[in-house]
Amino acid sequence: MLFSSAIFLFAFLPVVVLVYYLLPKRCAAARNIFLTAVSLLFYAWGEPRFVFVMLLVIVLSWFFARKIEMTAGTLKKTLLAVAVGADLTVLFIFKYIGFFTENLNHLPFVQLPVPQITLPIGISFFTFQAISYVVDVYRGHVAQKSLWDVMLYIAFFPQLIAGPIVRYSDFADQIRNRQESLQKLAKGGYRFALGLGKKVILSNNLAYVADAAFSSVGNLSLSMAWLGAIGYSLQLYFDFSGYSDMAIGLGQMFGFRFLENFNYPFISRSITELWRRWHISLGSWFRDYVYIPLGGSRVKTKHRLYLNIFVVWLLTGAWHGAKWTYIAWGMMYFVLLCAERILGWSGKKTWYSWLYTIYFFVAGNVVFRSENVTGAIKYLLAMFNIHTSGLTDAKAVYYFAEYIPFLIMGIVAAMPIAVWLRSRTGRFKEVINRLYPIWCAAVFLVALSFVVKGGYNPFIYFDF
């Protein structure tokens, strides 16, 4: 079930909010059980059988966390390793075993059958949250005695299929101790409305431009190559940040606070800054659960430092999917981040550092979007007018003319103009704050019109 679907907007969400607030506020356990039950229903809507995969991960994590909390010494570390290994095994079987087998078959005298396994939606998100749970318990956080509470943490529907990745250390106290209010309900609704607008109005329409370009690799003009690359970069941003906004807003409607997942990445002036602003929850997860345990930057040699960065970005690329393009994308960022450290560019704040950051971000998205490495190379060459059909063509003219309003709106919305306006003092700030609910309502109504009308509604992060 998509947040941007009619069934969610007109049936699931209104019923869930209504029933939740009808339950007595003093019955926190009943409200938690209700949210857990509807979250499982939400996940089961498309593929009911995959609920059992998620339940397996939840039960294993709950069981091992309880054992870890009651154990000490070497056995405690062993239990942690087994718990994390079990979660990663489930992820490997469903997401990577086919890719792994295909590549093994390139070796001499190896010919194994390639398993055809359907990927459960959001498996990378809920397995990472399960790992966060057992690791945080190992580090001293109190394990949940109630299996239902662990289910609520891992399966909570706002962040289940597209994040942000919520760490147990940030969520634990909110399970039993949170404050719901009509004010929070309204603020969450405003945030949800803006996220829905990002997804339905901007991302879905920019997808037409991106798809037209990436389906024509090998026959692109220079202008169409750039139009498609920029269109896809904006599509990806509004797809994922829109879902993150909706998730944060939904969480707030039920009294939960999720950390921000995007912070205007298009204003970044270094690759280092970009990854502090883009998919913040994933970057911080790898920092706290992989990079720092490996030694982080507090290591004796530069070689070990670069090895740690390499491991993080190899895993980051692989996390996104079982394709060589994702690995290549991760390695590109590994090289860029190391280069910035060596050259001392990570702190640069100039217009040309912004240009190179945006260029590599857009180029990286080309690799990310391409079906294979060969296709990515062909597309990148076209962006330098190599092996193109010319500077421009009829397709580029058509898509530019047809979708220029969405491109302009996308570029404007990707900049922190609204933040700047709301930071103003005096009566101007007062007027902006009063207009904010009206603006959110207008965006929501326009987005609803797109939903009711139907049309193209892709969701990039379903693959992860």
pLDDT at 225: 96
**Residue segments in the chain with a per-residue pLDDT below the cut of 50:** none
Closest CA to 152 of 249, 259, 32, 23: 32
Q: Are residues 213 and 341 in the same domain?
A: yes
- Give dist(CA 57, CA 224) in Å, integer: 44
CA distances for 10 relative to 2, 3, 462, angstroms:
12, 10, 22
Catalytic residue among 106, 141, 303, 320: 320
Are 235 and 308 in a shared domain? yes
* Cα separation values, 20 from 11, 41, 69, 152, 254, Å: 14, 15, 32, 14, 8
pLDDT (0 to 100) of residue 427: 67
In a domain, 287, yes or no: yes
Q: Is residue 18 part of a domain?
A: no
Domain count within the chain: 2
Same domain, 264 and 412: yes
pLDDT of the residue at 459? 65
Same domain, 218 and 364: yes
> Where among 131, 148, 179 does a domain terminate?
179
- Owning domain of residue 219: 184-463
Residues 258 and 290 in one domain: yes
SS3 316: helix
> Do 189 and 152 fall within a single domain?
no
Residue 45: CB atoms within 10 Å: 17
Reported pTM: 0.93
pLDDT value of position 111? 85
Q: 306 Cβ partners below 8 Å, 6+ apart? A: 338
330 and 258 inside one domain: yes
Peptide bond into 113 cis (omega under 30): no
- Cis upstream peptide for 164 (omega within 30°): yes
In a domain, 1, yes or no: no
303 and 158 in one domain?
no
Tell whether 4 is covered by a domain.
no
Whether 344 and 281 map to the same domain: the answer is: yes
The verdict on residue 12 lying in a domain is no
DSSP one-letter code for 461: G
Quick one: DSSP state of residue 142?
P
pLDDT tens digit sequence for 302-321: 999 999 999 999 999 999 98
Please identify which residue in the block is written with the tokens 């992860």: 464
Task: Verify that 114 and 192 share a domain, yes or no.
Answer: no
Q: State residue 461's pLDDT score.
A: 61
The reply to whether 416 falls in a domain is yes
Which residue, of 144, 161, 179, is where some domain finishes?
A: 179
> Is 320 designated active site?
yes
Q: How many residues does this entry show for the chain?
A: 464
Residue 21 forms part of a structural domain? no
Domain shared by 161 and 203, yes or no: no
**Residue 172 located in a structural domain:** yes
Q: What is the largest CA-CA distance in the chain?
A: 76
Note whether 150 and 294 are same-domain residues: no
Domain boundary among 142, 161, 179: 179
